[in-house]
Amino acid sequence: MSTKIRLGMLRLTDAAPVLVAAEEDIFAAHGIEVEISIEPSWANIGDKLGYGMLDGAVMLPPLALAIALGLRGRRTDLIVPMSLSANGNAVTLAKPLEAAFAAGGMAAIAATRILRLAVVHNYSTHDLLLRYWLAALGVNPETQVVMSVIPPAEMVGSLAAGAIDGFCAGAPWGQVAAHSGLGFTAIHTSQIWRDHPEKCLAVRADFAAGEPEAVRALLIALREAARLCASPARREALSDMLALPEYLNLPAELIASSLDPEAGGPIFSRTYPAPRHAAWFAMQLLRWNKAPGEALGTAAALYRPDIFLAAGGDEPGAYEEVFCDSKS
For the chain, which residues make up each domain, given as ranges? 3-86+196-310, 89-191
Per residue in 78-97, pLDDT (tens digit) is 999 999 999 999 999 999 99
Of 135-144, 178-187, 308-317, minimum mean pLDDT range = 308-317
pLDDT at 296: 96
pLDDT at 79: 98
The answer to whether 3-86+196-310 and 89-191 have equal CATH topology is yes
Mean local confidence (pLDDT), 176-191: 96
CATH architecture of 3-86+196-310: 3-Layer(aba) Sandwich (3.40)
CATH architecture of 89-191: 3-Layer(aba) Sandwich (3.40)
- The pTM of this model reads 0.94
pLDDT band at 328 (very low <50, low <70, confident <90, very high): very low
Mind giving me the DSSP string for 249-301? Answer: -S-HHHHHHHT-GGGT--B-S-----HHHHHHHHHHHHHTT-S-TTHHHHHHH
Query: Are the C-beta atoms of 189 and 157 separated by less than 8 Å?
Result: no
Query: Are the C-beta atoms of 290 and 122 separated by less than 8 Å?
Result: yes
Which run of H or of E encompasses 325? Answer: none
pLDDT band at 326 (very low <50, low <70, confident <90, very high): very low
